[in-house]
């Protein structure tokens, strides 16, 4: 009877050790080597058993630790009970590792978007020049441009192919009047979430940028979409006004007489703009403003596929500034835009390649 109780005590000790290891695994699992983990488990078991044995026999813990040996452990630990406890510990740790992976990925994204490390593009710039689909999906390719960047490009570039009208390469955008958040950050936040939403729906997604610290003009962004053979080109932006009372969603599209785009691209771009605006407003409850039709948007003029600039809201308006910079607001916007992409392709499908 005494021997059986001793086995139970040892199993209880090993179970406690397992619990401690699981608590520590959440913080150290990624960098922990399997060999070192096994060694630490063995040492911890041996120490606990030695102290327990010393307490039972009246010998001090210090003396017990100095006289510890493999033979003592073999006599003190029931091999079957130890093996069962260690196996259970391994299963729990493996479960903790699986659960920890999404959090590690989210942290890596947060560091990357904070420009603390050099990013590794997931599917965007590496594949854009090849015209190959990075992943299998529903056959549609969507290129998303997170508008603006940390530092504006003051060098000039043609407003459209063959144009003598020169425009600034890219501006740094606006800033939230109340949140203080820069537009380029909001654009990137929404773009990354929209990429994930569209990818989950089967689309192949190519991004023009995945960090803020880039040097990429509007012509270069349109070229990325063209090189990727994108079916549509979404340019994500926020708006601003001199009046803080102005709010709502609108999109930019080319006019019907745009000199740089084909008639089909113009018609589809206007349809895409209408669908994207309406889908966002349907999801978020924002006001749908009249879309703007202009031919002075370089990123539109250089596109070879249906294109729109989505102005998601006004950062000069308190309510929309708070909405645009909140997680919930961005999630609503993303759902609306993703629904818009679905709606566009359900109505128009792929555009036939120009000869």
Q: Tell me: the pLDDT tens digits for 247-281?
A: 999 999 999 999 999 999 999 999 999 999 999 99
Report the distance separating Cα 214 and Cα 121, nearest Å: 13
Query: Does pLDDT of 238 surpass 90?
Result: yes
Q: How does pLDDT run across 179-228, given as a tens digit for each residue?
A: 999 999 999 999 999 999 999 999 999 999 999 999 999 999 999 999 99
Helices (H), ranges, the chain: 2-28, 34-57, 61-66, 70-76, 79-113, 125-128, 183-200, 218-227, 263-284, 298-301, 318-324, 327-348
Q: Are residues 130 and 26 in the same domain?
A: no
| In contact, 140 and 350? CB cutoff 8 Å | yes
What token pair was written down for 88? Answer: 């259970």
Q: Could you tell me if 137 and 67 lie in one domain?
A: no
Mean pLDDT taken over the chain: 75
Residues 32-42 pLDDT 10s: 444 443 444 45
Given phi > 0 = left and psi -120 to 50 = alpha, else beta, which region is 131?
left
Residue 254 maps to which CATH number? 3.40.630.40
Q: With 80 as the cut, is the pLDDT of residue 152 above it?
A: yes
The verdict on residue 355 lying in a domain is no
Residue at which a domain ends, from 64, 88, 113 = 113
Does 118 map to a domain?
Answer: no
The distance in angstroms from the start CA to the end CA of the chain is: 90
Residue that the structure tokens 């818009």 belong to: 340
pLDDT at 137: 80
Angle (CA) 206-145-171 rounded to 5° is 150
Is residue 212 located within the same domain as residue 299? yes
> Same domain, yes or no, for 86 and 166?
no
Looking at 89, 113, 137, the residue that finishes a domain is 113
Q: Is a pLDDT exceeding 70 seen at residue 240? A: yes
Are residues 30 and 171 located together in one domain of the fold?
no
At 107 the three-state DSSP class reads helix
Q: Are residues 222 and 313 in the same domain?
A: yes
What is the mean predicted confidence (pLDDT) over 273-301? 98
* Percent over 90 (pLDDT), the chain: 60
In terms of C-beta density within 10 A (0-12 exposed, 13-18 middle, 19 or more buried), how is residue 72 classed?
middle
- Give the pairing of strands 204-207 and 141-146: parallel
* Range of weakest confidence among 89-93, 233-237, 288-292: 89-93
Is residue 155 in some structural domain?
A: yes
Q: Measuring CA to CA, how many Å separate 162 from each of 52, 122, 233, 259, 302?
A: 85, 34, 21, 10, 10
Same domain, 101 and 231: no
Instruction: Examine the domain organization and report whether 173 and 318 are in the same domain.
Output: yes
Residue 342 confidence (pLDDT): 98
State mean pLDDT over 41-50: 46
Q: Looking at 13-17, 25-29, 217-221, which range is the least confident one?
A: 25-29
Q: Is 353 domain-assigned?
A: no
Its domain, for residue 51, covers: 2-113
Pairing of β 232-239 and β 141-146? parallel
Q: Are residues 154 and 31 in the same domain?
A: no
Residues 243 and 305 in one domain: yes
Q: How confident is the model at residue 14 (pLDDT cuts 50, 70, 90)?
A: low
Asked whether residue 7 is domain-assigned, the answer is yes
Q: Is the residue at 84 inside a domain?
A: yes
Structure tokens at 180: 């203080």
Write the DSSP symbol of residue 290: P
* Res 115 pLDDT > 90: no
Q: Cα 113 from chain centroid?
A: 9
**Do residues 213 and 118 make contact, with C-beta atoms less than 8 angstroms apart?**
no
Choosing from 83, 113, 143, the residue where a domain stops is: 113
**Residue 37 or residue 322, greater confidence:** 322
Q: Whose structure tokens read 């109780």?
A: 5
Position with higher pLDDT, 85 vs 130: 85
Indicate the length of the chain as a whole number: 355
Please indicate, yes or no, if residue 354 is contained in any of the structural domains. Answer: no
Both 136 and 89 in one domain: the answer is no
Task: Decide if 310 is inside a domain.
Answer: yes
Confidence (pTM) = 0.64
* Res 304: pLDDT: 97
Query: Cα(282)–Cα(337) distance, rounded to whole angstroms?
Result: 10
**208 and 316 together in one domain:** yes
Number of structural domains (the chain) is: 2
């Amino acid at each position: 009877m005494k021997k059986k109780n001793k086995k139970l005590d040892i199993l209880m000790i090993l179970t406690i050790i397992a619990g401690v290891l699981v608590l520590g695994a959440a913080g150290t699992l990624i960098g922990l080597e399997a060999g070192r983990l096994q060694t630490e488990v063995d040492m911890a078991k041996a120490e606990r058993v030695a102290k327990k044995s010393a307490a039972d026999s009246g010998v001090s813990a210090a003396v017990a630790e100095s006289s510890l040996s493999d033979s003592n452990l073999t006599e003190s630990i029931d091999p079957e009970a130890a093996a069962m406890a260690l196996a259970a510990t391994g299963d729990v740790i493996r479960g903790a590792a699986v659960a920890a992976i999404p959090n590690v990925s989210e942290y890596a994204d947060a560091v990357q978007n904070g420009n603390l490390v050099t990013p590794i593009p997931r599917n965007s710039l590496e594949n854009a020049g090849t015209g190959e689909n990075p992943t299998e999906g529903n056959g549609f390719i969507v290129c998303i441009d997170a508008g603006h960047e940390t530092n504006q490009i003051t060098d000039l570039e043609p407003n459209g192919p063959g144009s003598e009208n020169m425009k600034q390469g890219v501006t740094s955008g606006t800033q939230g009047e109340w949140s203080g958040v820069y537009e380029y950050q909001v654009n990137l936040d929404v773009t990354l979430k929209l990429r994930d939403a569209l990818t989950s729906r089967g689309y192949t997604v190519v991004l023009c940028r995945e960090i803020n610290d880039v040097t990429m003009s509007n012509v270069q962004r349109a070229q990325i979409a063209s090189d990727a053979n994108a079916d549509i080109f979404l340019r994500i932006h926020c708006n601003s006004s001199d009046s803080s009372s102005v709010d709502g969603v609108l999109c930019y599209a080319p006019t019907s007489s745009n000199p740089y785009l084909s008639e089909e691209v113009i018609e589809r771009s206007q349809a895409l703009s209408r669908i994207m605006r309406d889908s966002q407003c349907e999801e978020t409850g924002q006001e749908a403003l009249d879309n703007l039709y202009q031919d002075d948007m370089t990123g539109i003029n250089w596109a070879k596929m249906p294109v729109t600039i989505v102005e998601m809201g006004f950062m000069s308006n308190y309510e929309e500034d708070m909405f645009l910079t909140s997680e919930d607001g961005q999630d609503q916007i993303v759902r609306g835009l993703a629904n818009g992409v679905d709606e566009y392709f359900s109505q128009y499908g792929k555009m036939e390649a120009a000869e």
